[in-house]
Amino acid sequence: MQADLPRSAQPPRTLRRFEDLPGPRGLPVVGNLLQIKPARLHLQLEQWCRDYGPVFKLQLGPRQAVVFGDHALVQGMLRDRPDGFRRTARLQEIAQEMGLPTGVFSATGDDWRRQRRMVMHGFDPTHVRRYFPSLQVVAQRLARRWQRAAQTSQHAGQAIDLQADLMRYTVDTIAGLAFGAEVNTLESDHDVIQQHLDKIFPAISRRVLAPLPLWRWVKSAADRELERSLVEVNTAVNGFIAQARARLQAEPDRRAQPHNLLEAMITAADEPDSGITDRQVAGNVLTMLLAGEDTTANTIAWMIHLLWRHPLALARATEEVRRVCGAETVPTLAMIEQLDYVEACAHETMRLKPVAPLMPQQALRDATVGDVQITEGMIVFGLMRVDAVSDAHVPNAARFDPERWLGAGGPSQAASSAKRIAMPFGAGPRICPGRYLALLEMKMAMATLLQHFDITEVSTPDGQPAVEHLSFTMTPLGLAMRLRERVAVAA
């Protein structure tokens, strides 16, 4: 075998330009734009990755885009944020046009650094543990809602719209735990904030990928409904902030010991020279509502779907919950932290069904990713699932196998490797700051479900595996669940 040459003696690497890359043939002027199906974009890009290799090109109207399916290249790109890559200018343009305040999700440069410190302060695991009683309250509401559904019919029970109920659960959790606000959507069937939030991500997704901005010229009924929802959401966000500031003014000691994430953010923002405005605080409140609702709820829905389709895994998760949590009304934090198999189910779900299966970025400067030259302003898509479901990287990759995340003494080395490949929360400096809270919410929801109920059915309209629908995040379509109340066995 030929020895590696010293760096100074190695031949120069040949770099490929956009023109050198393979990719699907497009049309004049519009390129591949008319081939894009927004609701299936991640599946299209994954298929083209199989057709053209781990690096290929797209022409999206006047914009050039390079797609990376190799996890190491994706990871390198994500680590070069916020200085080398950012969220796309198109996304920021659409968000601003919709009147959405900018938060840490779309901020760049020094703005991002200031906001990141503030948000990380609020999402510190020590803080989240302190707010755990708020999560217990929401879990009780979820149990009562599902209990009513189970009791509706003595036999099958009322079919639960799984995604809608889980969206309510995550909104109530974020509002109570993060903002100290009482937003009880789980026990209300009236016009609730969750119904308005649900319109925002799909609208952003549609508009970012639209060939023409038709909504600027002719507003459809959906556009007018979106405008009403944006007013409601912004009013709610400003209300959360006003309530938090009123509490801080009435009880100054809260600044030293904030009672929730929003109070912690405001306290950090009010520090001299923080550079954080109320508008930016509002942007981060909205980011938490949107990201905390959508991503976590969809992951729980996917997990329940996969467990139902794998009865042995469901039986093991159920046994663990009932053994650890016993007959307690609400699981304690200590109990939740012992649910290793349930957490393994969450990681395996995020490997197979990542709610963010693609990561579009825009180059802030000329760069090199692998052997490809990226020019300033170019769009770069990172495909987050391709290698995570490849047998070349993960044994029996198509199989739902939570045990791959466990070893005799805890998480295995293989699990650590799989997590690096899957990157469910992103990677690099902009890795999701709410990942600890998200896992806590997932485990609490599963504990609530499996402690109190037996699942009798998880179904889709056509009886097939749930369809992956991309509307900014990847959603399972049409999942319905039926439950039966658990009959406790006397000791």
CA 390, CA 396: separation in Å to the nearest integer?
A: 8
Alpha-carbon span 196 to 230, nearest angstrom: 7
Kindly state whether residue 100 falls inside one of the protein's structural domains: yes
With a CB cutoff of 8 Å and minimum separation 6, the contacts of 414 are 395, 404, 407
Give a yes or no: residue 418 inside a domain: yes
Handedness of CA 128, 432, 450, 142 (dihedral sign): positive
User: Given the structure tokens 């039926």, which residue do they identify?
Assistant: 482
Q: How many domains would you assign to the chain?
A: 1
**pLDDT, position 257:** 82
Is the sign of the CA dihedral 429, 433, 436, 442 positive or negative?
A: negative
The pTM of this model reads 0.90
Cis status of the peptide bond prior to 22, with omega within 30 of 0: no
pLDDT attached to residue 466: 92
Residue 247 lies in a domain: yes
Q: Half-sphere exposure (CA, 13 Å, Cβ side) for 308?
A: 24
Tens place of pLDDT for every residue, the chain, 491 residues? 333 434 444 445 689 999 999 999 999 989 998 899 999 999 999 999 999 999 999 999 899 999 999 999 999 999 998 889 988 888 888 888 888 777 667 777 777 777 777 777 667 787 788 778 888 999 999 999 999 999 885 555 678 999 989 999 998 888 887 788 778 888 876 657 778 888 888 888 888 888 888 889 998 898 899 899 888 888 888 888 899 899 999 998 988 888 777 888 888 888 888 777 778 888 888 887 777 778 899 999 999 999 999 999 999 999 999 999 987 778 999 999 999 999 999 999 999 999 999 999 999 999 999 999 999 999 999 999 999 999 999 989 999 999 999 865 444 455 556 767 888 888 888 888 888 889 999 999 999 999 999 999 999 988 888 999 998 889 999 999 999 998 764 44
Kindly report the number of other CB atoms within 10 A of residue 47's CB atom. Answer: 12
* 7 domain residue, yes or no: no
Residue 327 domain-assigned? yes
> Is the residue at 354 inside a domain?
yes
CB hemisphere CA count around 480 (13 angstroms): 14
Look at residue 398 in the predicted model and tell me its pLDDT: 93
- Residue 154 within a domain: yes
Q: What is the CATH number of the domain that holds 237?
A: 1.10.630.10
Domain that holds residue 163: 13-454
Q: Is residue 89 part of a domain?
A: yes
